[in-house]
Structure 1
Amino acid sequence: MASAPAAAPGVVVVFDFDRTIIEWDSDNWVITKLGAADAFRRLRPTMRWNPLMDRMMAELHARGKTAEDIRDCLRSAPLDAHIISAIKTAAALGCDLKVVSDANTFFIETIMAHHGVLGCFSEISTNPAHVDADGRLRISPFHDSAAEPHGCSLCPENMCKGKIIEKIQAMAGTNNHHFIYIGDGMGDYCPSLKLSEGDYVMPKENYPLWKLICSNKQLLKAEVHPWNSGEELEKTLLMLVNKMITPPAQVSSFDCSKCEMSKPASTEVGHHQALPVPH
């Protein structure tokens, strides 16, 4: 099995997933396309999002939908060619690419493997998911519900992205490492506040993260660069990467087919280090 691309010193790019790498929401895509929107509307007022998604997978299973049906549904969704290009080019420039998302491992791995970019990422931090002995997809919270609460008032109880960023920063070290964080939602605000001078945050324009940043830009130390399309994301990301690499980088001979062959590490619930993602 090929390893993930080696990272150049200093540049860590962290992507959100839903409405960032993909333009749509993976949970909504599956629920709508597989015909369970009625159950979702009935249950939504009574449940928090993470346990609701696990319950929705049970609903799909009860309706005869298999894990492979869910995979096929995810594979049918588009991914902007500019996003694919941005990911592969950043990997070729030697950036260390990571995903921090409130989706789940099953959805993210399926979509990114289908589009040939899964192995461009060294780590995926998201809610764990697995297919149980009955063939039902199970989705668990990132932060173990039996453990002590994460204590962040800005984030949902199943995941504090700010704490994940702090762990990534600690692993990277403080010297010669700078971050680019790309996201759109309310959950991306907490990690944006953890960034330092010399870092960059790329909020999707007119989405919740952008609006929160605009409400008080003085709270952020990182420089803000908004985007509103895949083309703008690619252009802005690669501009910032070249700005952070001195002298300006050239795309290396890194074979982007490695992105298709290698697997990132996955941060699972209850674990304090990245573990290999199973096939």
Structure 2
Amino acid sequence: MSAPSKPALAASQERRFLVLFDFDETIINESSDDAVVRALPDQKLPDWLINSYREGHYNEHMQKVLAYMAEQGVSKDSIHLALVKIPPTPGLLNLLQYLQNHRQDFELVVVSDANMFFIETWLEQAGVRNLFQKIFTNPASFDASGRLVLLPFHSHSCPHCPDNMCKQVILREYLAKRQKERGGAPFQRVFYIGDGANDICPSLALGPRDTAFPRREFPMHKLLLEMQQSQAAEFQANMVPWVSGEDIVDCLKRMMEER
């Protein structure tokens, strides 16, 4: 095999930024799990099912919810309709438009504790599925009886994350894989956009040149503020809270000008 040409080497090492998105209450403006419950005949779960939730075992709980919905006769079409009605977070589509206009600079990935059917359904109806190189989420597919069967994404040993997903493990493995594929060239900067408590763990894998974008006044923002105030050494990244996707666009534009 011949050695790669100089242009090919340059292409593999071109300046590229990695942008990771959470899904629920980050790309969309509510929880997709809550939204699909509205497809039930009475649009709510029974108390016994709500009360069966065990801390740290949310994936297991959603498996029960989806089984219950199937028992109540909720169809795939009904779930699909509930999903496509979910509004995007304010300014989020403008952010995605900006990133699409600069595709040569940004690689986009979703890392979410929702599931593949929910995420792909929404992204496809919004016309933005093709922007994302990879979606890391829990597998979900309809079985022969019409029930949406949910599975855990992976197992891990992180004591801080739900039993089915550690987003930091996902991020570190993806960065290592992509660096190898890029001929040893790491991303120049990594941006992580999220809102929830489970977005803290991946934020701790970010370095001083990277940026965490927590949704303002949501759990991720409040927890990162506590870390900054306690001068917790494990959080090294810059923090830029956001209310609208335009806030993130403004920050990315400034960073693009710096180069």
Do the two structures share a fold, i.e. TM-score over 0.5?
yes
Could you tell me whether the CA contact under 8 Å between 1:20 and 1:184 is conserved in 2? yes
- Match for 1:223: what amino acid? N
Quote the residue 2:86 is aligned against. 77
Quote the residue 1:163 is aligned against. 169
Quote the residue 1:206 is aligned against. 217
What is the DSSP-based 3-state SS (H/G/I as helix, E as strand, rest coil) of the residue aligned with 1:38? coil
Residues 1:20 and 2:29 are matched in the alignment: no
Query: What is the aligned counterpart of 2:51 among 45, 49, 52?
Result: 45
Could you tell me whether the CA contact under 8 Å between 1:36 and 1:59 is conserved in 2? no
Post-superposition offset of 1:205 = 1.3
Unaligned runs of 5+ in 2: 1-12, 180-184
Query: 1:10-54: CA deviations, max 9, x gaps?
Result: 211100000111110100111134235232x32233233212211
- Match for 1:27: what amino acid? D
Query: 1:176-203: CA deviations, max 9, x gaps?
Result: 4311101011100000000001000000
Identity across matched positions, percent: 34
Higher alpha-carbon Rg: 2
- Match for 1:37: what amino acid? K
Quote the residue 2:110 is aligned against. 99
TM-score where L is the length of structure 1: 0.78
- Match for 2:93: what amino acid? I
Residues 1:130 and 2:141 are matched in the alignment: yes
Residues 1:181 and 2:187 are matched in the alignment: no
Unaligned runs of 5+ in 1: 1-6, 144-148, 249-279
Quote the residue 2:69 is aligned against. 60
Separation in 2, partners of 1:121, 1:96: 7
What is the DSSP-based 3-state SS (H/G/I as helix, E as strand, rest coil) of the residue aligned with 1:123? strand
Separation in 1, partners of 2:48, 2:65: 11
Post-superposition offset of 1:133 = 1.1
Could you tell me whether the CA contact under 8 Å between 1:162 and 1:192 is conserved in 2? yes
Query: What is the aligned counterpart of 1:113 among 119, 124, 129?
Result: 124
Could you tell me whether the CA contact under 8 Å between 1:88 and 1:120 is conserved in 2? no
Post-superposition offset of 1:9 = 2.9
Query: What is the aligned counterpart of 1:216 among 224, 227, 231?
Result: 227
Quote the residue 2:5 is aligned against. none
Query: 1:122-163: CA deviations, max 9, x gaps?
Result: 1100011001111111111111xxxxx411111100100010
Could you tell me whether the CA contact under 8 Å between 2:214 and 2:221 is conserved in 1? yes
Could you tell me whether the CA contact under 8 Å between 1:8 and 1:96 is conserved in 2? no
Quote the residue 2:159 is aligned against. 153
Separation in 1, partners of 2:89, 2:160: 30
Query: 1:194-227: CA deviations, max 9, x gaps?
Result: 0001000000111111111111213311100001
* Greater relative CO (CA pairs within 8 A, separation 6+): 1
